[in-house]
Amino acid sequence: MLVVHGGAPLRGEVQVRGAKNLISKAMVASVLGTGVSRLYDVPKIRDVTIIRGLLELHGVRVSTGSEGELVFDPSNVERASTDEINVHAGSSRIPILLCGPLLHRLGHAFIPDLGGCKIGDRPIDFHLEALRQFGATIDKTPDGLHLTAPERLRGTKFELPYPSVGATEQVLLTAVLAEGITELRNAAVEPEIVDLICILQKMGAIIKVHTNRVIEIQGVDKLGGYNHRPIPDRIEAASWAAAALATKGDVFVRGANQVDMMTFLNTFRSVGGAFEVLDAGIRFWHPGDELKAVALETDVHPGFMTDWQQPLVVALSQARGLSIVHETVYERRFGYTEALNKMGANIQLYRECLGGTPCRWGRRNFLHSAVIAGPSKLYAADLEIPDLRAGFSHVIAALAAEGTSRVYGVDHYIVRGYEDFDGKLAALGARTERPA
């Protein structure tokens, strides 16, 4: 539990390190190599600990170098028992991405029950179908999925029905050592995907990114290690920016990268927030004028990222007028708004598509559009965090609210994706405490 005494603006500086959505994939990529890999600027978050444990179960020697550096030696990759792997069941969705590398190295892979935030349906059908097309055999058993590849996997042509980030990563991590050419259509092209491609290219992969979401991978016989400093975490940077706006504060996010945040920065300015791009990062602040309502839709890159909408909605509750947010990526991403309404926000959810972006949820029974009426005065409440990004949103709301709130589930959710969360709050002058 985190006790938050609200009403004070956040002021100060925080540092963001390597992107959470890239770090774990970079760790998995090390399994493909025959040499040592070094990954820098790795945040101390629970996801990293989970993936490190999975790699070590499979014989990868993982050591810690200088501050924020992890070193991977995959020279003795081996098959882990299903019981050992099942210890991590439900804690992460990354085991599915180990399939391609393990099939190449061992001819066998096992997938336990997968975890992750409960924000909507995230099926692994795309992953499994891609692996089948590469030549893998998949057997379903009570303890999970067993995959085998008695022969070398072969390149394939594959088109995703939706530009899924996870499925694109699956194809990349599998195709680089598969025999022949793989062509992936309707691929995700998020900055983290491009950074993963850079890592694989450093290892010796041949990957061409064409226009219109087409990626072509020419399989090679062997990959080496890599040395890589990942892109900074654009989700965490935007979260602190939204916190500055909602609390009428001023926060410098060291490491924030303008190029990867251009869509967010445009919306931040449209709402009435101010920012300054510097060599070392981006400063975000509330200029003192009344915030303005906006209409936005989440979408795959280069659209407005779905992970940005939850923190920003808290700030939109303080904007004058009606803001409209149409969520097109995850169908159950507005569950956190119930807590915001409990605190005094005025947010109505709708099943209709309140926007023009093509949406998978139209005509289905999902509350995936939100109308936020503001400004609303927020009051303290007891809050139970439902997922990672909603957790940060709840903390932002508690910081902006009048009175003392108690936020439950901080260690389970927020610590999973945000390094030194309590320390960063303290550095910004937040009045928080942890009960003994």
Is 359 part of the annotated catalytic residue set?
Answer: no
Output the DSSP codes for 75-144: TT--PPPHHHHHTTTTS-SGGGGGHHHHHHHHSEEEE-------SS---SHHHHHHHHHHT-EEEEETTE
Of 99, 117, 198, 359, catalytic = 117
Question: CA 397 → CA 247, 297, 422, distances in Å?
Answer: 9, 22, 16
Tell me the C-alpha distance between 223 and 202, whole Å.
9
Query: CA torsion, points 130, 133, 135, 138, in degrees to nearest 10?
Result: 60
Tell me 232's DSSP state: B
Full DSSP string of 334-389: TTTHHHHHHTT-EEEEESS--SSS--TTTTSS---EEEEEE----B--EEE--SHH
Q: At 59, phi and psi to the nearest 5? A: 90, 0
Distance CA 377, CA 346 (A): 10
Q: How far apart are CA 27 and CA 307, in angstroms?
A: 22
- Residue 25, helix vs strand vs coil: helix
Query: For residues 406 and 351, is the Cβ–Cβ distance under 8 A?
Result: no
Catalytic residues: 117
